[in-house]
Chains A and B, each alone.
Chain A
Amino acid sequence: MRQRCFGGAQHDGLGSATTLNLVLLLSRKFLETESPSWVTDGLISEAQRQQLLARYPPEAQPLGLLPLLGSVLVGLSALSVVAANWQALPVALRLALLLGSLTGSYAAGSYFLRRGNDDLGHGLIGLGLILFGASIILTSQLYQLVGYDASGLLAWVVAGVAVSYVYGSRLLVLLTVLIGAAVQTYCVESLGIFSYVTAWLVVGGMGYYWWRRPDAVSATVLAVGLLWQAGLLIIVLHAKITWFFVPAMAIYAAGDWHPNRAVGRAIQVPSLVAAYLFMFGLATFGETDAYANILRPPLLPYLAALGAVFGLSALGKRAQGRLASLPEWLLLLPGFYLSGGLTLAVATLVVLYAHAGSVLARANREHDSDQLTLGAVLFVAATAVAYFKLTWGFMDKSLFFLIGGVLLLGLSWYLRRRNAQVLAAAAPPVAQQAGTPPAPGNDNEPEAPAHNS
């Protein structure tokens, strides 16, 4: 049932053929420059050096850059001739040109894929997909035709999903997510309606794809595309903007259920960033209470909806053994129901500190240096807001900046020291007792030094 990524290279979340190629290319160059000195130092023999070099052959360029550039230029010139004379061309010829270039780029894409040139092939198939949308738009314009629903462009999204399924390339997935967002934007801006069919096509079609073919980059792009559509839905419904976080956190909850941790995380990042920015904005500007009317949906329905999503997320975290990331939900605490003023400012600051602390605590437990850095940045950001809020009005400005600077320097020194301690402490136990969990007790408190420092 579970579909894991193939090969270790994909587990870092960036894994792609391109990264791998780059690494190979670099290691070949490294080998070429370094290996002669290994031979002189007696590390390896000349024969072994040759064997090593033969093991990592130089990458053959699949296609020269010059012909590609040349054909792009020829294509552009043809395009500009057609565009300049578009209105003067007879209707039938215009249709024939559109359909000809559409079928032509699909055929060429299929041809290059059979020849094993995947990048160019997928690129041309993607071009065909773009030309399909362009043909729908230009043909409507040809007949001065206006439609009053999304059905005209819906076919474009359907074609995008279908082509992605058939060719399964990252480029086509990204293109389809982009097309979905573009069609939805058109519907909202131009027709004043939200196309639920478009939204469900992207959620269902590309969501299923994400589940089955885990890829971190596509996951993040999919999440951004879906958040965009969720934002448009809020605009169309004239709803309070905080409703946005219900669909956003539903995407987050889906990430909790994904068996692949890195890919699940990748789809969660955009929602988390949105929630953090909102909480940050609330801490910075919220206390005026001027925005209260656009922030507060009816209490019970909002909490019920968000609570349901929270339940789903927590269940997913438990099922996949990731309950440690549960404190991320702190960012969703609906502080905006508090009346403005000091209460709200303090409450949001407490939440920001608690969140930063939870990230730091988790990083300590898991000895994860990236998370440590992130936690440190969040901590500094919360401190900056707190400092700004609490002192700006009362202090002489030069004193304000002086104390702020000293505070920042002190914090950075302290956090760097902690970072180094934690990472130094992490090395021995991992080497000695790999697999055993770190002793409980100490590691829940970020302030306590790691147990064997």
Chain B
Amino acid sequence: MADLLSWFSDPVRRRPLLRLLVGAQVLYVLGVAGAGYATTALGKQVVLATTPIDPKELLSGDFVRLHYAIGAMPLSQWHGPQAPRRRQAVFVLLAAGPDSLSTAVGLYPQAPAAGVGQAVLRGWVTDVYRNSLNLRFNLERYYVPEGSDLRLEKAGRLHPLRVRVSIAPWGQARITRVAVQK
């Protein structure tokens, strides 16, 4: 009786199977890289403002810590049947203002339909307080490229930053640019 494991571990099949597996893994990693380019090319662009934070924390190692202005929201913007919980995945509806900065207009447990000039960014609830809640977007670290003017910005300045984020329709996002707000 041929069981699945004997079929897989048959020495005759071992080399072709390994080649197949390694090939698939290489293609997959290349696919991840491709998704990066595709997110920039096809994604919706939003610009988010950060709030100044402890200067010692700003540039640590190779990355900048970003605290987004939309990371703290009043509970009145929550549109869900039940109160939000810690760790819950949520959707922030963003609308671009006159200065092209996007601000939050609502917080939803399910993805809302985005109108013209609006975009939806996913986040997670980190803390719930009496009147407000804090969010995390997994976009809090920006790995600073070599030669960027952020490197010249020595720790100790308290400038808010403008972060350009691309949100792909299939549910990935990436930071494409971080600049000092003048």
Contacts and interface: CB of A to CB of B under 8 A. Distances in A.
Interface of A: 1, 86-88, 95, 98-99, 102-103, 106-107, 110, 128, 132, 135-136, 139-149, 152, 155, 159, 162-163, 165-168, 190-193, 208-209, 212-213, 236, 238
A191 B89 contact: yes
Contact of A95 (B29, B137, B145, B174): B29
Q: Which 7 A-B pairs have the closest CB atoms?
A: A143-B36, A165-B8, A192-B87, A146-B138, A144-B175, A139-B32, A135-B29
A136 B33 CA distance: 9
Nearest to B40: A143
B9 A140 contact: no
Most interface-central of B1, B14, B24, B29 (chain A CB within 10 A): B29
Interface in B1-21: 1, 3-5, 8-9, 13-15, 17-18, 21
B88 A110 contact: no
B21 A212 contact: no
Interface of B: 1, 3-5, 8-9, 13-15, 17-18, 21-22, 24-26, 28-30, 32-33, 35-37, 39, 62, 85, 87-89, 122, 124, 137-139, 142-146, 171-176
Given A99-B26, A139-B29, A168-B9, A145 B17 contact: no
Contacts, number: 125
Contacts of A99: 26, 29-30
Contacts of A209: 5
28 contacts: A1-B1, A86-B62, A87-B144, A102-B26, A102-B29, A106-B22, A107-B22, A132-B25, A132-B29, A136-B28, A136-B32, A145-B32, A145-B36, A145-B172, A145-B173, A159-B24, A163-B21, A165-B5, A166-B9, A167-B9, A168-B5, A168-B8, A168-B9, A191-B89, A191-B124, A212-B5, A236-B87, A238-B85
A236 B124 CA distance: 13
B28 A155 contact: yes
Contact of B143 (A141, A155, A163, A168): A141
B171 A144 contact: no
A95 B33 contact: yes
Nearest to B25: A132
Contacts of A107: 22
B3 A212 contact: yes
A145 B35 contact: yes
Most interface-central of A141, A143, A144 (chain B CB within 10 A): A144
Contact of B5 (A87, A148, A213): A213
B22 A102 contact: yes
A99 B26 CA distance: 6
Given A87-B143, A136-B29, A168-B9, A146 B21 contact: no
Contacts of A155: 25, 28
A147 B172 contact: yes
Contacts of B25: 102, 132, 135, 155, 159
Nearest to A87: B62
B5 A110 contact: no
Contacts of A168: 5, 8-9
Contacts of B144: 87
Contacts of B29: 95, 98-99, 102, 132, 135-136, 139
Contacts of B13: 166
A346 B44 CA distance: 64
A95 B36 CA distance: 13
Contacts of A238: 85
Nearest to A209: B5
A140 B31 CA distance: 10
Contacts of B176: 144
Given A165-B9, A208-B4, A212-B3, A146 B173 contact: yes
B149 to A, nearest CB: 16
A88 B146 contact: yes
B39 to A, nearest CB: 6
A192 B124 contact: yes
A125 B32 CA distance: 22
Contacts of A142: 33, 36
Contacts of B22: 102-103, 106-107, 128
A398 to B, nearest CB: 48
A148 B124 CA distance: 10
Contacts of B146: 87-88
